Copies of this chain bind each other. A is one copy, B any other.
């Protein structure tokens, strides 16, 4: 029992790290691997994500992310994903990033064993235009949805979402239900994640918030995975298949963080755009409102854009200059991004 690691090291170039708790290391175990993709676009000032809606065996409609088995043909995981999406949607993925590899064994209830990989490698992709792309028919349908459909509590653009009141009440009850020590821990986690008391709202903590809601049994998936009864309509936000909402939460949080130090928003913008459009997109992603003048100052002094020389018939008042992304910026600044230190403090209702 104790000598197993040594033995393994002896035997296998690269050393050995058996994760099993029970004994001698086995040879590399064959496990099924899944891929899933969070494909994001922005339109009409909403952050969109490509979802597949299909009927589950029992007739209930289920929303899911594009996902499927990995096949060992492509040179790299990312190339495989990129290739597939580009072929299916006939559009270039401007940006593809590996998100996270999920391997929880207790979060995969609710799917057929066949569609239940031991491991899921999730990717985040950004696209400029939304095309229906993935053909859909029969019981399945590809739809671009605002991601706030799944996380209504994440959209603070019109002030604090009223539904947070209910969530906080439920969370408080959940915390109080635990024994003393654990209750304290839960309270702190809630405070940090939801910006209560001393803490302030941090738009990046999307996953932390979702996980709390899951643990507290406030989202439908929690009840489903535990085999408990819960009307889907009673859960906070719209539910998704297996652990897809968790994957989406990871993606949203990651993207919200990334725009601050990498010029990734531009992957979602058309070749030419106005500063207002850019701001609206950033606000859509981050879920918070920004100070207009300061936002422009930031973008311009950072050298993130350059004028195209054209102006556009405004959506309302004075026509705006059109700008384009300056790719050279990557050369000049170490971390070109939009540090949006929150903006005009929307009245905390």
Q: Which residues of A contact B (CB under 8 A)?
A: 2-3, 5-6, 8-10, 12-22, 25-37, 52, 54, 56-57, 62, 64-77, 80-81, 83-85, 87-88, 98, 100-101, 103-106, 111-112, 114-119, 121, 134-140, 142, 188, 191-192, 198-200, 202, 241-242, 244, 330-332, 334
Q: Is the beta-carbon distance between A331 and B198 smaller than 8 angstroms?
A: yes
Q: Is the beta-carbon distance between B68 and A16 smaller than 8 angstroms?
A: yes
Q: Is the beta-carbon distance between A115 and B68 smaller than 8 angstroms?
A: no
Measured between alpha carbons, how far is A118 from B118 in the docked complex, in Å?
Answer: 14
Q: Which residues of B contact A331 (CB under 8 A)?
A: 188, 191-192, 198-199
Q: Which of B2, B52, B69 contacts A18 (CB 8 A)?
A: B69
Minimum Cβ distance to chain B for residue A2 (Å): 8
Q: Is the beta-carbon distance between A77 and B98 smaller than 8 angstroms?
A: no
25 A-B pairs whose Cβ atoms sit less than 8 Å apart in the complex:
A2-B135, A5-B134, A10-B137, A10-B139, A14-B65, A14-B67, A14-B111, A18-B68, A18-B69, A19-B81, A21-B87, A27-B114, A28-B117, A29-B32, A29-B72, A31-B32, A70-B119, A72-B118, A75-B106, A76-B104, A76-B105, A77-B101, A77-B104, A199-B331, A202-B334
Measured between alpha carbons, how far is A6 from B70 in the docked complex, in Å?
Answer: 17
Minimum Cβ distance to chain B for residue A329 (Å): 11
Q: Is the beta-carbon distance between B15 and A54 smaller than 8 angstroms?
A: yes
Q: Is the beta-carbon distance between A12 and B105 smaller than 8 angstroms?
A: no
| Contact A33-B35, Cβ < 8 Å, known A17-B84, A199-B332 | no
Q: Is the beta-carbon distance between A112 and B19 smaller than 8 angstroms?
A: no
Q: Is the beta-carbon distance between A71 and B202 smaller than 8 angstroms?
A: no
| Contact A6-B140, Cβ < 8 Å, known A13-B241, A19-B81 | yes
Minimum Cβ distance to chain B for residue A17 (Å): 4
Q: Is the beta-carbon distance between B21 and A73 smaller than 8 angstroms?
A: yes
Q: Is the beta-carbon distance between B71 and A29 smaller than 8 angstroms?
A: yes
Minimum Cβ distance to chain B for residue A196 (Å): 10
Which of A35, A71, A73, A118 is most buried by chain B, counting CB atoms within 10 A of its CB?
Answer: A71
Q: Which residue of B lies closest to A69 (CB)?
A: B28
Additional 17 contacts, C-beta under 8 A, given A19-B84, A31-B33, A77-B119: A5-B135, A6-B136, A9-B142, A10-B54, A12-B112, A14-B115, A15-B67, A19-B71, A26-B71, A27-B69, A33-B118, A72-B105, A101-B101, A192-B330, A199-B332, A200-B334, A202-B334
Measured between alpha carbons, how far is A64 from B16 in the docked complex, in Å?
Answer: 10
Minimum Cβ distance to chain B for residue A208 (Å): 11
Measured between alpha carbons, how far is A91 from B204 in the docked complex, in Å?
Answer: 31
Q: Which residues of B contact A199 (CB under 8 A)?
A: 331-332
Q: Which residues of B contact A10 (CB under 8 A)?
A: 54, 137-140
Measured between alpha carbons, how far is A71 from B118 in the docked complex, in Å?
Answer: 10
Q: Which residue of B lies closest to A53 (CB)?
A: B15
Q: Is the beta-carbon distance between A105 and B75 smaller than 8 angstroms?
A: yes
